[in-house]
Every structure is written in C-alpha cells, then in structure tokens.
C-alpha cells in the first residue's frame, strides 16, 4: 500500500530529503542532509516526525539528523558504520524497520558499492535507495568494487516493477544525456529524457519514478541489453559495468 504522502524535499545543492507521511500527520524522513528544510515542511503542514532513516554516512545525507532527532525525539535508524556518530538503532541486511505511525514495514537491504556499508529501505511500494541507484544512473564507486555495485543494482532491479524509486539526488537530466550517448536507439530513454527536461523546466522533481521505467531506461540496469552490450564490448558483465561507470565518471554535460 502506497503512503498517503511522499515528497522529495530539496536540500543543499541537489539533494532530496524524502518525507513520507500518513493522513494523521505522522511522518518519517530519509537522509536529512540538513534540518531546516525538513523543519519548515513539518511546521507548515502540522506533521509530527516519528523516525529518521539513514542510508549511508556521507554528510549530505546525515547532516541534519542529530538536530531533527533532538527536536522531535524521533529514533534514528542507520547502517552499522562508526562514521555515523549518532545515537541510532543500527540495522542491516534482512532486518525490518517496523513503525506504527506512519504504518510501515521497511526491509533493510545492504547495497554496497557507493560506500561499503550503504543500505536501502524497501516496503509499502517504495524504495529509498540513497546514492546507490539514481534515476537513469547510479552512484560513484567511492568504496566498493564494480562487482559489488553491479550485484547491488541487480538486487534493486529485481524488486517489483511498480515500486517507486526515491533516490538521493536530482541528477536525471544529466544522466539521460549520458545514457542516450550509450544507447541512442532506446525510445523509452528518449521519452524519459524529454519528460525529465520538461519537469525540471517546470520546477518539478523527476522522482519518484517506477522501477519499470528504470529497467527500460537506466543503462546501469541494462548491462545485458544488446545495443548497450555491443557499445561496451562483449566481455563479461562486471567488465561492461566497470567500463560504463568509467565513462560516466568522465562525462560532462555539453555546453548550451
């Protein structure tokens, strides 16, 4: 069952803090890189913060957690990583975050690659992927290996197709520009690129988006697609993924 309200709250340069709330005003936030934007939404809409979820240790995802926890008394759920220096309930693969209000059962999935201890939260039709899976992209490999990241992405891609992807950054337009260069014959990708450009021009977020759309458009989930595999070289899957990630690391948006 989808939540009553699911909102990407813009923060910092291009982060999204995810806010999920029920009809009674009970709310959670995911990856609050700063507190002020969350506090504004909570006050404006009369919401009560019940839990704070963290996917990984980077400052732009945890920077506001301590302040929000102190102000609300909401518990923090975080991966087992000493770099997250907060009083938190530590969770790992196979565990479940169960909340009474809002009523949520969120499975914890370990998805290393961007960082060694990165986790995602999945349940109630929603996936909070942090910086592992972006719309039409994936995170940089700061600590993990290509094999680890590919396995993590394969795991997320196997979730139900109607799952709503809630990722940590607004990167979709640039990701589409890169992806089209790798798989120019992908009609679904061309449609997604046009949609994303229109959404951003209108001041709208490009996410959430379903995993069905991601499987049709995201090159990092399409390593085995014939056109893309040909473009990357016909080696084994991990080598193709590593080459794709290398190309993305070197990619720069064309000047307008």
Closest by CA position to 167, among listed 213, 194, 128: 128
- Are 53 and 77 spatial neighbours (Cβ–Cβ below 8 Å)? yes
Q: Catalytic residue at 60?
A: yes
- CB 183 within 8 Å of CB 231: yes
Active site residue 57: no
- HEC assignment per residue over 40-109: HHHHHHCCEEEEEECCCCCHHHHCCHHHHHHHHCCCEEECCCCCCCCCCEECCCCCEEEECCCCEEEEEE
- Evaluate whether 127 touches 165 at the Cβ level (below 8 Å): yes
- Of 56, 57, 87, 224, the active-site residue reads 56
> Which is the catalytic residue, given 31, 60, 81, 118?
60
Catalytic residue among 22, 31, 118, 169: 169
61 as an active site residue: the answer is yes
Question: Which residue is catalytic, options 22, 31, 81, 131?
Answer: 131
In the set 22, 31, 57, 114, the catalytic residue is 114
CA distance 104 to 225: 35
Please name which of 61, 195, 174, 66 lies closest in space to residue 128, comparing C-alpha atoms: 61
Q: Is 118 a catalytic residue?
A: no
Check 57, 58, 81, 118 and give the catalytic one. Answer: 58
**In residues, how long is the chain?**
256
Q: Confirm if 147 and 238 have CB atoms less than 8 A apart.
A: yes
Residue 190, token pair as written in the block: 């061309």
Catalytic residue among 22, 31, 57, 61: 61
Point out the residues that are catalytic: 56, 58, 60-61, 114, 131, 169
């Amino acid at each position: 069952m989808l939540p009553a309200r699911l909102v990407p709250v813009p923060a910092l340069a291009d982060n999204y803090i995810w806010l999920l709330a029920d009809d009674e005003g009970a709310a959670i936030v995911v990856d609050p890189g700063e507190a002020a934007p969350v506090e504004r939404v909570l006050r404006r809409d009369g919401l009560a913060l019940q839990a704070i979820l963290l996917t990984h240790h980077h400052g732009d995802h945890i920077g506001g957690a301590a302040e929000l926890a102190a102000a609300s008394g909401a518990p923090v759920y975080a991966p087992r990583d000493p770099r997250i220096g907060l009083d938190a309930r530590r969770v790992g693969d196979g565990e479940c975050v169960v909340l009474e209000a809002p009523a949520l059962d969120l499975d914890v999935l370990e998805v290393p690659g961007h960082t060694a201890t990165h986790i995602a939260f999945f349940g109630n039709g929603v996936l909070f992927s942090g910086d592992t899976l972006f719309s039409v992209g994936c995170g940089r490999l700061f600590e993990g290996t290509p094999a680890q990241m590919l396995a993590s992405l394969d795991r997320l891609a196997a979730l139900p197709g109607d799952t709503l992807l809630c990722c940590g950054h607004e990167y979709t337009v640039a990701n589409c520009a890169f992806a089209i260069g790798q798989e120019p014959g992908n009609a679904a990708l061309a449609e997604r690129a046009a949609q994303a450009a229109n959404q951003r021009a209108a001041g709208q977020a490009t996410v959430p988006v379903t995993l069905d759309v991601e499987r049709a458009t995201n090159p990092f989930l399409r390593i085995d697609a014939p056109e893309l595999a040909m473009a990357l070289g016909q080696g084994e899957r991990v080598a193709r993924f590593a080459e794709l990630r290398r190309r993305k690391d070197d990619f720069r948006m064309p000047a307008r």
